[in-house]
Chains A and B, each alone.
Chain A
Amino acid sequence: MTINNEQNCWFDENIDMKKISVPHANGWLARFQRSTHHGDTLWSVLIIIASLLVLATVVAIGWMLWQQSTDARIKFGWAFVLPTSNATWDPLKGVYQSWAFIYTTLITSLFAIILAVPISIGIAIFLAELCPESIRLPLNWMIELLAAIPSVVYGLWGIFIFLPIVVVPVGQGLFVAFGQIPLLNSLFKGPIPLSGSSRLAASMILTIMIIPTITAISRDVLLAIPNTQREAAMGMGSTRWEMIWQVLLPYGLSGILGAVILGLGRALGETMAVTMVIGNSLEATNSLLTPGTTMASLLANQFKESVSQLHTDAMLEIGLTLFVITLILNMIARLLVWQVARRTPQEARA
């Protein structure tokens, strides 16, 4: 019994804690607030649920396609996706093998990559190493705007302008140049159709569409290389080009490879522009100069008009194949790009 006149003093032994009424100290709201750390538990549960939802979408895409294509997978087995000389896709007889589409997808994308990689790396070098500061940002933006043009607009422009003006002469040139050479003549068997609709057209449109992807990532990879590398190369008396070619590119090689693979992934899955210019022929030929059908353009053309459940299932299996291929490519690419980013300490970056 010490101080009585000052209430609420913390050392007052006579205060009965139960009689002090902090408003709603034991009300439901206060209890709720305490038990949830003033809402933080709820908040963290909420954001974890949202994160899981996003992750679940990725898993669910694969799972649903896998589950729904069961019939086709069981019926055709691995023959559905493996290379065969004469793959049949016959909805009337119910026989489905997708190698022809996989082949077209791969050949158009690979050709697009072959065209796009030197161009993109050249642009990346220009933007990262040579370009005057004043025009760097506008140039960056313009290259990236190429990726913002909707793919149907590419398709429309392709059909009416790009095919007749650029693709047809290029195709004829390729036919004349390579059509007679023994090993290459099946790849360049022509002549190219007058409309220009061909795998070559798809490749060339894809080239334009994947340049921004490869350029942007390669440029970032080059910019992430420490300045010490540049200084060392220049100090040893190399020219600028030797520095770029013999020091910077080998240093960033895995990152650039990642960029190329990401570009490849984008080319494989591109649908609308390719569907509009590739001619959508189901004939199985190997030539770049003839019309064909890619996996994505087959889906765009036939999925709505499927004639039987098996037809739908087979096309879902094509979708699954496409998903798995792009998934694997993306994983490889991300790991490569991350590897470069991790190897370079943050402080050393230019």
Chain B
Amino acid sequence: MKGKDVTVVNAIGRSVPTLVNGKSEIPYKGIGKHRPNGRKFGPIISSCADFPADGNKLVPTLKQALINAGLKDGMTISTHHHFRNGDLIAIQIFNIAAEMGVKNLIWFPSASFDCHAPLIKHLEDGTIHHIEGSMNGQLGRFTTAGKMKGVGVLRSHGGRYQAVQDGEVEIDIAVIAAPSADSFGNANGVDGPAACGLLGFALADSQYANKVIVVTDNLVPFPCVPWHIQGNYVDHVVQVDQVGIPEKIVSGTTAITKSPDRLFLAELTSKFCDQAGIIRDGFSFQAGAGGTALSIGIYFAEMLKAKGMKARFARGGSNKFLVEMLEDGLVEYILDGQTFDLEGVKSMRNNPNHVNTSPFTSYNYHGKGNFAQLLDVVILGATEVDVNFNANVVTHSDGALLHGIGGWQNCLFAKCTILPIPLFRDRIPVVREEVTTVCGPGELIDVIVTERGIAINPLRTDLLDKVKDSDLPIRTIHELKEEAERICGTPQKQVFDDEIVAVVKWVDGTILDSIRKLRN
């Protein structure tokens, strides 16, 4: 299909393909406009008669487990990013597949990291046909260079759950790397040498995949408690020497920023939240993993302390700063989606108010509500924002695909979505006429905070009203865009190849935008 895509213009004005990797797709129709009928995907019925009577599902090697699971050409293989940049299992799976001569696999990770760059060789040798999930760093560059055989599909964490639940993606084999497990297949993320917190990203896979393999380096006698993953879903268990590198779950993006400019943004954002009346007793918030967002959490803590208030809940990514707030009584619950550091892991293990969640509870749009929409405020990042408040998180202004969506799209449904971003990075304007890739529709993005002014979405007359008498530097989004261009210059029009190399899915499975091959 590559190179001769049939495209249509979707509800947000972007040209998207109707066919992706041979499957027909629905273009984005608007927020809440796509209402699928029918029933969810039905996994195969299993019988205890086919499994060991003593419940011991151990097989000697990962290769044996993959063979037992029926690994063959064209299958969809899923893995998860609980170890972030310290994952040791995904590479092994595709090395084994290459060795067995298996071709055209679809890799379906919950996210990819730098440590997955070695998979480029398996994208080149035909073992992997394409990736559905995220394509970060070198994998992204490989994709936008037009070198991947199939078309990449980018989904949010909630979108991944939705795609599996709705049967959009049928997982043939799920490989769940677990810090602790028993031979029945019960597994958790809080115990063992590679403890990473929780295993929520693998929930959909355990429930819906045709075959499920649990891999651990900390095999405990039955029962492995708590069971974040239930053994009743699991086909095979494999014991290995090392499942992941726990130190690498603390990636660069989870350190507090020392940059005075970013601290300034963080301070201005928390001031805005205060003056807009968002910070009050019993409120709830989520701040992402970036340096600026982390600092905002710290400013929130200071304000709560000064006012003698506390937050009812905060959504993680948790880290030591959020854990401190929990322990200091400034927040009553952490509803955690992933743990960014070992303090977070420890707190999740020991503190009953530090609760593990999953993309189903937090983010899934095809459910009966989710937690993200209950948040009073969410603080997110973006690579670009445009004058319609549409925002981009996956590509840079030069068109290179470098990041995944994560929970970003799902969080936009919070009651107030704030993006603190610099007006420009070096000479790259961040507030632009039109974003390179639309990842989030502007109607869900409420406030843009830059060091040179704050723009409030005109749809949010309530927020505009609340801060109209404040001393905050309120500007229009057009004024911000013009200032960025006055400083950096008007950027030249980007020229892309026609070939679509990846698509961005919206939370309901429709296609929001396409990413095209870079020229040269």
Q: Note whether A and B form a binding pair.
A: no
Q: Which residues of B pack against A, CB within 8 Å?
A: none
